[in-house]
Amino acid sequence: MMAGMGVERHDGISAPVRTDWKRAEAEGLYDLPFPDLMFQAQIVHRVNFDPNRIETASLLSIKTGGCPEDCGYCSQSAHYETGMKATRLMDRADVIAGAQRAKEAGATRFCMAAAWRNPKDRDLDQICEMLSAVKGLGMETCVTLGMLTAEQANRLSGAGLDFYNHNVDTSPEFYGKIITTRTLQNRIDTLAHVREAGIKDCCGGIIGMGEHVEDRLGMLLLLANLPSHPESVPFNLCNEVKGVPVDDTANRPDPIAMARLIATARIMMPKSVVRLSAGRQYMTDELQALCFLAGANSIFIGDVLLTTKNPQRDRDASLLHRLGIASGVA
């Protein structure tokens, strides 16, 4: 069968938000002739978003290192010799100062990350205080704290949290090669608690850990067939970390494969904000532009992510200026 045959062509307007995608459909989209794939992705993107605007978010590691999980890509896992010093939870005043700086640099969302398997209830007291202070600055809030119970999700919701980031990271088939200390089902349970508490899910994964295209599409199918699509879907290219078992250079996607994946995600999750997350420093300006055309509409700004590098602010500002893309809320 020719690539793309049997794939329903839609006008984007009538395309419903579906949570029953089949593998053959995902493969059919991904394998379309590139111009057809990009055209479909652009139609879907333009129906649902302003194509000339992207969201700019900023990250802060509020509790770094010493994590008991064994995620094979992570600088913060206590299982590997990465040279990362474990810190305590940051003081509220320092977190607010970080949020203020991010706001001045143009970020509209502030994402606070802690290297925990799960937060303790007393940690949540401090997190809830940080949330109300960051909201007071007029920014959207996001936290990523590991696994949550339903009660903890309700507490965060009560404190006004907008988004909770918790990634599936990869396909169900590849997952066990990367993480053994918590299951994919644990993660899916946390995502359900978050959704049921009325918080928006931010959920995506990592590309370039040695997985194959089938795994990347398996991850898209997993995300697109959740009970509802995560409102934010981050795509991280694996960032180099010395001392971890995952080799970030194994199967890093070629630029066209990256654009195909973003376009397929855009079509399968038409109303979700798709973020080019970690690893943009490995992408040329041209590839980032292609990914924005394919439907990506969010980036992290700032010179560091949590512990690894992000493109310099000047490079991002210049790129968006040359593309005529405005930044703010997508």
Please report, as ranges, the residues that interact with ligand SAM according to CB under 6 A. Answer: 73-74, 113, 115-116, 144, 146, 166-167, 169, 205-206, 236, 238-239, 241, 278, 306, 308
Mark whether 291 is an active-site residue: no
The answer to whether 233 and 204 are in contact (CB under 8 A) is yes
Q: Of 74, 203, 238, 291, which one is the catalytic site residue?
A: 74
Angle between helices 34-48 and 285-294 (to 10 degrees): 60
Residue 210 contact, options ligand SAM, ligand SF4, ligand DTB, none, Cβ 5-8 Å cut-off depending on partner type: none
Residue 111 three-state SS:
strand
Q: Where are the beta strands (DSSP E) in the chain?
A: 53-63, 109-114, 140-144, 163-165, 200-202, 205-207, 232-237, 273-276, 298-300, 326-328
Residues 220-239 that bind ligand SF4 (CB under 6 A): none
Mark whether 128 is an active-site residue: no
Cα radius of gyration (the chain): 19
Name the pairing type of β-strands 205-207 and 200-202: unpaired
DSSP 8-state code for residue 32: S
Residue 43 Cβ, how far from ligand SF4 at the closest point, in Å?
35
Task: Let me know the angle formed at the C-alpha of 58 by 53 and 287, rounded to the nearest 5 degrees.
Answer: 50
Candidate residues 25, 31, 69, 248; the one interacting with ligand SF4 per rule CB under 6 A: 69
Contact letters (x/-) for ligand SF4, 81-120, by CB under 6 A? ----------------------------------x-----
Residue 169 contact, options ligand SAM, ligand SF4, ligand DTB, none, Cβ 5-8 Å cut-off depending on partner type: ligand SAM
Q: Of 187, 202, 260, 266, which one is the catalytic site residue?
A: 202
Helix, strand, coil percentages, rounded to 5, for the chain: 40, 15, 45
Q: Of 109, 111, 195, 238, which one is the catalytic site residue?
A: 111
**CA dist., res. 250 & res. 253, Å (int):** 9
Mark whether 238 is an active-site residue: no
Residue with tokens 């007071």, as numbered in its chain = 136
Binding positions for ligand DTB, rule: CB under 6 A: 59, 75, 111, 113, 144, 165, 167, 204, 234, 236, 239, 277-278, 305-308
Q: Of 195, 275, 280, 291, which one is the catalytic site residue?
A: 275
Mark whether 71 is an active-site residue: yes
Contact residues toward ligand SF4 (CB under 6 A) are 67, 69, 71, 74, 76-77, 115, 146
Which residues are part of the catalytic machinery? 67, 71, 74, 111, 142, 202, 275
